[in-house]
Amino acid sequence: MKNKFYIIVTAALLVFLLYLSYQIFVDAKPLEVVFLDVGQGDSILIQKGMRQILIDGGPSGKTELAKLGKYLPYFDREIEVVIATHPDKDHIAGLVDVARNYKIRKVISTSAVKETAVFKEWQDVLAFSKTESLEARRGNEVGFDGAKLFVISPASSVSSSVGDANNQSVVARFDFGESSFLFTGDIETPAEKEILASGEGIDVDFLKVAHHGSKYSSSEEFLDAASPREAIISVGASNSYGHPHEETLRELSNRNARILRTDENGDIRYECRNSRCRNATK
């Protein structure tokens, strides 16, 4: 009986030490920002150790879960913050299955709604899981392991000034030391103008090009203000929308921005350490 007790205690101690060693190994990895290749949609993972911010979930739960399984630590079944930029299917459909398979601590989203089955399903799964929800507004901040995410749009008056769900997308800036990212959802010219008029700082190193490179987004004035070194386009191969539009690609090239596309590059990954982020895409 004594031997059995010692065996159980020793086994439990070994399991604990293995888990602790694994967690130390995971925490030692650099912060990473990954633009996930989810087809014609958006999903961006910001991760440091066992902590994550997930921005959108793409159009497919199966694809999204496979991507999270690739990047999240094996034992990690919790995501600290999910940002649903707006209620279009290609941004939230994958989040439904994420919410069913992971504990989400907080969801940040706009007040925009859509009369669609997938949006209702998303609302239902959040209500069932009793996830904390926060309505996105300019000035919201999320601290993240020494870095910080700032909500730039929507402002409190955006629903009356720019109208549709695309232009009510959550736009956020993520700063890590000397490096910065701008995540733009599906905003188009009206929201871009509102952001420029607000005086919010959008001069960044890395720009998530709005609305998959649509010709109705990425105005010259907005690109001039952002002046990114690298521009990331989340887009599906041979999509029916003609994304990214040749005019958008031309305007980015005219500003000497390096263009990366998920349909050509797959997952686009950045590693952040020592106050700087660098492209680590393989």
Longest alpha-carbon distance in the chain? 77
Per-residue pLDDT tens for 7-53?
A: 665 655 555 545 544 454 445 689 999 999 999 999 999 999 999 99
pLDDT of residue 45: 99
Average of per-residue pLDDT across 113-133: 96
HSE (CB half, 13 Å, CA atoms) of 126? Answer: 21
User: d(Cα 184, Cα 190) in Å, to the nearest integer?
Assistant: 13
pLDDT of residue 26: 47
pLDDT of residue 29: 87
CA dist 11 to 4, 8, 22, 225, 238, Å? 11, 5, 16, 58, 53
Per-residue pLDDT tens for 55-74?
A: 999 999 999 999 999 999 99
pLDDT band, residue 164 (cuts 50/70/90): confident
Per-residue pLDDT tens for 125-160?
A: 999 999 999 999 999 999 999 999 999 999 974 444
Among residues 5, 11, 126, the alpha carbon closest in space to that of 57 is found at: 126
Per-residue pLDDT tens for 85-100?
A: 999 999 999 999 999 9
Of the options 3.60.15.10, 1.10.10.10, 3.10.450.50, 3.40.50.150, the CATH number for the domain spanning 30-279: 3.60.15.10
Buried b (16+ CB within 10 A) or exposed e, 56-71: bbbbbbebbbebbeee
User: d(Cα 263, Cα 282) in Å, to the nearest integer?
Assistant: 14
pTM score: 0.91
User: d(Cα 187, Cα 215) in Å, to the nearest integer?
Assistant: 11
**∠ Cα 184 189 193 (to 5°):** 90
Spatial contact of 253 and 264, defined as CB atoms under 8 Å apart: no
User: d(Cα 154, Cα 194) in Å, to the nearest integer?
Assistant: 9
Q: Residue type for 18, please? A: L
2-11, 48-57, 109-118, 231-240: which has the minimum mean pLDDT? 2-11
Per-residue pLDDT tens for 167-211?
A: 999 999 999 999 999 999 999 999 999 999 999 999 999 999 999
pLDDT of residue 141: 97
User: d(Cα 64, Cα 172) in Å, to the nearest integer?
Assistant: 21
Among residues 88, 33, 41, 31, the alpha carbon closest in space to that of 64 is found at: 41
Residue boundaries of the structural domains of the chain: 30-279
Q: What is the mean pLDDT of the chain?
A: 92
User: d(Cα 79, Cα 118) in Å, to the nearest integer?
Assistant: 21
